[in-house]
Amino acid sequence: MDRETDDVLDVVGPRLRALRRERGLTLADLAVSTGVSESTLSRLESGQRRATLELLLPLARTYNIPLDDLVGAPRTGDPRIHLRPIRRAGMIFVPLSRRPGGVQAFKMIIPTQPEPLEPTSKTHDGFEWLYVLNGRLRLVLGDRDMTLPPGEAAEFDTSLPHWLGSADGGVVELLILFGPHGMRAHVGADPHRSSRSAIQR
């Protein structure tokens, strides 16, 4: 992890504790509204647990503030672009949207893999739309195993077991839109494109 990102994440815990106390909430209250356990929230606030995208998103929704505010990004009005990467499961996520609710946008980078990884599919609530910018993406979706080259897109319900990785070990760059359960991206379709460009459950 680079020093700048490490410094940013180091101050997330104290900021979360101050925000919770400012709102007059207990850890138990927060656990109910976010679905994150009290022990995890306590470790996150004390700095014993590293902030991840999975933890920050429900907290941003509960506090109804932009995700960037939780990690100390500049306030709206600063014309400069300050993208704060979040690392999770060996991948890098760069938040591109500031709204706490609704669809969240990210640039996702899958680093070079010296050896092929064994897919470990996961499920969670929500709906995901992705677009491959560079590299070749391996997408395992349920019992389907497919490769998406640059320019291909996929859309799926994340309650279906899924896994994303590099198809050939090289770097993969994606744009991802993630929405709450039932909220799907609406993308204009080119009827001349392959049916693989819109993979739906």
pLDDT, tens digit, for every residue of 143-200?
999 999 999 999 998 889 999 999 998 999 999 988 765 444 444 444 344 434 344 3
H-assigned helices in the chain: 3-10, 12-22, 27-34, 38-46, 53-63, 67-70
100: how many CB neighbours lie within 10 A of its CB?
19
Cβ-contact 30, 36 below 8 angstroms: yes
**Total-model pTM:** 0.53
Lowest-pLDDT choice from 14-28, 62-76, 116-130: 62-76
C-alpha distances (whole Å) from 5 to each of 50, 58, 115, 117, 139 are 12, 21, 26, 26, 28
Choose between 148 and 1: higher pLDDT: 148
pLDDT given at position 93: 83
